[in-house]
Amino acid sequence: MPEANTLLERDGVRLTLDDAVAHVTLCNPAKRNAQSPAVWRALAEAGRLLPGNVRVVVLRAEGVSFSAGLDRQAFTPEGFDGEPSFLDLARGSDKELDAAIAGYQEAFTWWRRTDLITVAAVQGHAIGAGFQLALACDLRVCADDVQFAMRETGLGLVPDLTGTKPLVDLVGYGRALEICVTGRFVRGAEAERLGLANLVVPAGELDGAVADLTAALLAAPRGAVNETKALLRSAASAAEAEQYAAERAAQARRLRDLAGLAAD
């Protein structure tokens, strides 16, 4: 991709543009794309930098692993250069600790915006924060060597990077509980069967499968795609009457748009 299309490259995160498609790449393969507060700040910034014409965002990672999860240096007394360690954060007030975690979560929330369709291309290990980052996306296309695992509970922690709701939504409460508490690996065939993966392909075909899916996502009119995503996101929590009303309102907007009439 031409360098002129690179909007961000720092702290192991790269954002590039290809017309209506943005590519967010985890680019620290030497550390298996381990995550840190600096990585999360860069991911949040990538979301803020997206131009309005972007319709699809593809998240991918360089190297053999999508992301090995949190960089364990966060739990050492020295932490990362220039910022407090997690141990220091734990000594702060409830308000300070809550604000810090809320800031980290910003890297994981913008992927659900209704004006975008987000696709994670996942290979190798996607552990902890890596699993939650893949769950932040609307769709997941996985290589057959994928290994998802939620290891936080085994470390005395909880998944706090917005991954609990999409995990339960996808696999159900009982399976989500079992996956989190045991910390076991969920591999390709099972991930597809449970709905964690929309598609599993041989590792050498991952890029091609993502490109094919991206082209299909761009084929429908943007307004209809955005309205459909919004309806599907509300469907699980809305009461039936509320959902039916939302469908009617969305369809009215679409019909008026197709008829060339301005919205009220």
What pLDDT tens digit does each residue of the chain (264 aa) get? 344 599 999 999 999 999 999 999 999 999 999 999 999 999 999 999 999 999 999 999 999 999 999 998 888 888 888 888 888 899 999 999 999 999 999 999 999 999 999 999 999 999 999 999 999 999 999 999 999 999 999 999 999 999 999 999 999 999 999 999 999 999 999 999 999 999 999 999 999 999 999 999 999 999 999 999 999 999 999 999 999 999 999 999 999 999 999 765
Question: Can you tell me the distance from the alpha carbon of 129 to that of 86, in angstroms, rounded to the nearest whole number?
Answer: 15
Distance (Å) of CA 63 to CA 9, 28, 66, 68, 123: 17, 8, 7, 11, 9
Tokens of 209: 């499968």
- Residues 134, 143: contact at Cβ < 8 Å? no
Q: What is the pLDDT of residue 43?
A: 98
Q: Is the pTM of this model over 0.85?
A: yes
Class of domain 3-219: alpha beta
Q: What is the pLDDT of residue 264?
A: 55
Q: What is the pLDDT of residue 166?
A: 97
Q: What is the pLDDT of residue 181?
A: 98
Question: Can you tell me the distance from the alpha carbon of 247 to that of 240, in angstroms, rounded to the nearest whole number?
Answer: 11
- Residues 83, 37: contact at Cβ < 8 Å? yes
Q: What is the pLDDT of residue 79?
A: 83
Question: Can you tell me the distance from the alpha carbon of 140 to that of 191, in angstroms, rounded to the nearest whole number?
Answer: 10
Q: What is the pLDDT of residue 3?
A: 47
Tokens of 219: 């084929």
Q: What is the pLDDT of residue 100?
A: 94
> Residue with structure tokens 């298996």?
32
Q: Strand 21-26 relative to strand 56-61: parallel, antiparallel, unpaired?
A: parallel
